[in-house]
Amino acid sequence: MKPLIQPRRVRALVSVLSAAAAVAGAALLVPRPAQAAGTLGAQAAASGRYFGTAVAAGRLGDSTYSTILDREFNMITPENEMKWDTTEPSRGSFNFGPADQIVGHALAHGQRMRGHTLVWHNQLPGWVSGIGDANTLRSVMDNHITTEMTHFKGKIYAWDVVNEAFADGSTQHRGSVFQNVLGNGFIEEAFRTARAADPNAKLCYNDYNIENWTDAKTQGVYAMVKDFKARGVPIDCVGFQSHFGSGGPPASFQTTLSNFAALGVDVQLTELDIAQAPATAYSNTVKACVNIARCAGITVWGIRDSDSWRSGENPLLFDGGGNKKPAYDAALSALAGGVPYGGDGSPTPTPTPTPTPPGNGGCSVKYTISSQWGGGFGANVSVTNLGDPVSSWTLTWSFGAGQQVTQAWNAAVTQNGSAVTAKNVSYNGSLATGGSTSFGFNGSWNNGSNPVPSNFVLNGTACTTG
């Protein structure tokens, strides 16, 4: 994604350059005018995919810009208009005007929308960055996600729920206000909150420098997605920004897309641009997508070279005058090959994990302290049902050192003395045999110790702990 100010992106691009040395069942249910044969959008649609572009509201009045936009592209991503600094510049005060302008244009021209982006460390108002209390930040994050998604409900095909959460060259998360205050669980909570806000939108994780399969950052994101799918965390797609140097994608790019798709998620090229726009590099990039059944589509990050955040590198398919470049023809030709898109256009149901043999029934609980500070802590609880399927659940336990639950998510938690009761919420009550769910909470502790409970009971049956 392209921020208004680019210092971090420039550093990311250096890494990319050195490394380099479509869709059915849309949420936007509007009639689509026929695109002329031989356009990028029409050619992508022939295999069930989309071909989109990033759009700035301020450029929609440019006739050359808007003519190309409406002729060539059938998916739109707002460049900056849905980011936090625009949509909620002060706490609880939302501004959707610029984004509404883009969404209105899309509706009028039969184009679909990608929402970009809900939780990101960049382009974040200072009032958010300055929050140091976990309860406050969690409430603010959840409210922002819910309010923005509710405003655009039914108009967004897919959301970039969390953006660029992993550190460069690492399998670990980058430092951010969300990571530093809420811990590793903030990504999962963001996705669960997003699913509750709009069950019909696809939910994506989006990042850069995850195109090369052997890179540590790629492996970190892959491990997260694999874990989310195994535990029933709602994630439907992974966005590969694909800001490439002149050499184009790494040799392993198609392997990377294939491996992620095998986890049961769609893959999308979300911010494609290639330095100097070599025709072969664009052809290879598009082919890597259309050769993967679950590659849903491609978005280029801008229309003309003059619109690009990398304008000095002429990385797009149209020159500054709006003329097609050789890379355009290469991309158009590559779209005609490959295999049909294999997703159904709707959020991907997370498959039930392979059932654990039920034996005599029972359950298993994993209780983890995710963070701890003076007088407080955060905990994650993962529950696996080893008995018969259930349509609702209640988990109980007792604290042994005076701990008190102060706030919970993904479960309704009450406490009476040391006894704690957690009940499912609307979207996570069903647990098949071998099925798992998880929730989290913040708590207080004052006795100098914070021991892990061991007396968990699920629907009246004692659980083992691990």
273, 303 Cβ separation under 8 angstroms: no
Instruction: Tell me the three state secondary structure of residue 2.
Output: coil
* 10-24, 129-143, 188-202, 450-464: least confidently modelled range: 10-24
Tell whether the model's pLDDT for residue 355 goes beyond 70.
no
| pLDDT at res. 2 | 52
| pLDDT at res. 371 | 73
What confidence category does residue 1 fall into, taking pLDDT thresholds of 50, 70 and 90?
low
What confidence category does residue 286 fall into, taking pLDDT thresholds of 50, 70 and 90?
very high
| pLDDT at res. 127 | 97
pLDDT digits (tens, 9 = 90+) for 395-405: 998 888 888 88
Q: Is the bond preceding residue 117 a cis peptide, omega within 30 degrees?
A: yes
| pLDDT at res. 389 | 87
| pLDDT at res. 348 | 60
Both tokens of 103, joined, read 């969404």
423, 412 Cβ separation under 8 angstroms: yes
Tell whether the model's pLDDT for residue 424 goes beyond 70.
yes
Query: What's the rounded mean pLDDT across residues 113-142?
Result: 96
pLDDT digits (tens, 9 = 90+) for 93-126: 999 999 999 999 999 999 999 999 999 999 999 9
Q: How far apart are CA 414 and CA 75, in angstroms?
A: 45
Q: Please give the helix or strand (H or E) that residue 50 lies within, else none.
A: strand 50-55
| pLDDT at res. 343 | 73
Give the residue, 11 or 106, on which the prediction is more confident. 106
Query: What's the rounded mean pLDDT across residues 351-379?
Result: 65
**What are φ and ψ of residue 37, in 5° steps?**
-60, 140
Handedness of CA 441, 444, 448, 451 (dihedral sign): negative
Catalytic residues: 164, 271
pLDDT digits (tens, 9 = 90+) for 52-88: 999 999 999 999 999 999 999 999 999 999 999 999 9
Gyration radius of the chain over CA positions: 23
Instruction: Enumerate the H helices of 271-418 as residue ranges.
Output: 279-290, 326-335
Q: How far apart are CA 379 and CA 406, in angstroms?
A: 11
Residue count of the chain: 466
Give the residue, 239 or 438, on which the prediction is more confident. 239
Neighbouring CB atoms inside 10 A of 355's CB total 13
Parallel, antiparallel, or unpaired: how do β-strands 404-409 and 436-444 relate?
antiparallel
274, 327 Cβ separation under 8 angstroms: yes
Neighbouring CB atoms inside 10 A of 182's CB total 24
Neighbouring CB atoms inside 10 A of 312's CB total 9
In the chain, pLDDT over 90 holds for what percent of residues? 66
The mean pLDDT value of the chain amounts to: 87
What confidence category does residue 25 fall into, taking pLDDT thresholds of 50, 70 and 90?
very low
What confidence category does residue 22 fall into, taking pLDDT thresholds of 50, 70 and 90?
very low
Query: What's the rounded mean pLDDT across residues 333-354?
Result: 72
pLDDT digits (tens, 9 = 90+) for 219-236: 999 999 999 999 999 999
Q: How far apart are CA 149 and CA 246, in angstroms?
A: 37
- Produce one character per residue of 374-413: b if its CB has 16 or more CB atoms within 10 Å, e if not: eebbbbbbbbbbbbeebeebebbbebeeebebbebbbbeb
24, 341 Cβ separation under 8 angstroms: yes
Q: How far apart are CA 302 and CA 289, in angstroms?
A: 19
Contacts of 464 (CB under 8 A, 6+ apart): 362, 363, 364, 365
Q: How far apart are CA 93 and CA 87, in angstroms?
A: 8
The widest CA-to-CA distance across the chain, in whole angstroms, is: 72
| pLDDT at res. 418 | 86
114, 156 Cβ separation under 8 angstroms: yes
Parallel, antiparallel, or unpaired: how do β-strands 457-458 and 461-465 relate?
antiparallel
Instruction: Tell me the three state secondary structure of residue 270.
Output: strand
Handedness of CA 401, 406, 408, 414 (dihedral sign): positive
Q: How far apart are CA 463 and CA 397, in angstroms?
A: 10
Parallel, antiparallel, or unpaired: how do β-strands 394-398 and 376-385 relate?
unpaired
Tell whether the model's pLDDT for residue 446 goes beyond 80.
no
Q: What pairs with residue 421 in β-bridges?
A: 396, 414
Instruction: Tell me the three state secondary structure of residue 414.
Output: strand
- Residue 397 sits at the vertex; the CA angle it makes with 392 and 401, to the nearest 5 degrees, is 155
